[in-house]
Amino acid sequence: MSEAVIADTKPVVMELEPGTYYWCSCGRSANQPFCNGAHKGTGFVPLAFEITEKKQVALCNCKHTGNAPFCDGSHAKLA
């Protein structure tokens, strides 16, 4: 698998508590935008990221962002 699956064409906006999270980079997780292990055998790996204080974030679901795991608007350019 060389291309990530587009899980959605809009970001997931949510409030996260401080902690370490694992963003799904393959698009196959049933627990979007977080990894559930569905990447096994694809060559993709989850991206670990840390939140240091409670805050609202927009996490990429199209898997084309240049600022993973955060949305950078790349979904607007998808066909």
Residue 5 has pLDDT above 60, yes or no: yes
**Mean pLDDT, range 19-38, rounded to an integer:** 97
% of residues, the chain, pLDDT over 90: 94
- Residue 32 forms part of a structural domain: yes
In this structure, what DSSP letter does residue 40 have? T
Residue 72 has pLDDT above 80, yes or no: yes
- Residue 4 forms part of a structural domain: no
- Residue 64 forms part of a structural domain: yes
Length of the chain, please? 79
- Residue 5 forms part of a structural domain: no
Q: Which residue from 49, 59, 46 is spatially nearest to 4, judged by alpha carbons? A: 46
Q: How does the average pLDDT of the chain come out, rounded? A: 95
Residue 79 confidence (pLDDT) = 65
> Which range marks the domain in which residue 60 is found?
12-77
Number of domains, the chain: 1
